[in-house]
Amino acid sequence: MEIKKTGALILTVSLAAGALAGCGGSKGQESSSALSGVGGGSANGGSDTVTLWATGSDNVRQIYEKLIDDFNNNSEYAGKYNVKLQFMLSGTGAQSMTDMLNAAYQAKQTDTDYDLVDFSGDDLSKMVSLIGEDSFVELDETKIPNRANILAESSVAGDHTQAYRGTTVILAYDSATVPEPPQTMDELVQWMKDNPGRFAYNTPGTGGAGDSFARTSVYNFMDEEAITSDDPKWMDEWDEGFGFLQDLHQYMYASGGSIVYPNKNQGTLDLLNQGEID
Using 70 as the pLDDT threshold, list the residues of the chain that sit under it.
1-46, 91-94, 167-169
**pLDDT by residue (tens digit) across 203-252?**
987 877 888 899 889 999 999 888 877 788 999 999 999 999 999 999 99
Strand partners, 13: 166
pLDDT at 95: 74
Q: Whole-model pTM?
A: 0.62
The C-alpha atoms of residue 81 and residue 91 are separated, in whole angstroms, by 31
Identify the pLDDT of residue 46: 60
Burial of 42 from C-beta contacts in 10 A (0-12 / 13-18 / 19+):
exposed
Q: Where are the domains of the chain?
A: 12-167, 185-273
Task: Reply yes or no on domain 12-167 having CATH 3.40.190.
Answer: yes
Res 4: pLDDT: 29
d(CA 7, CA 130): 35
Can you give the pLDDT at residue 51?
92
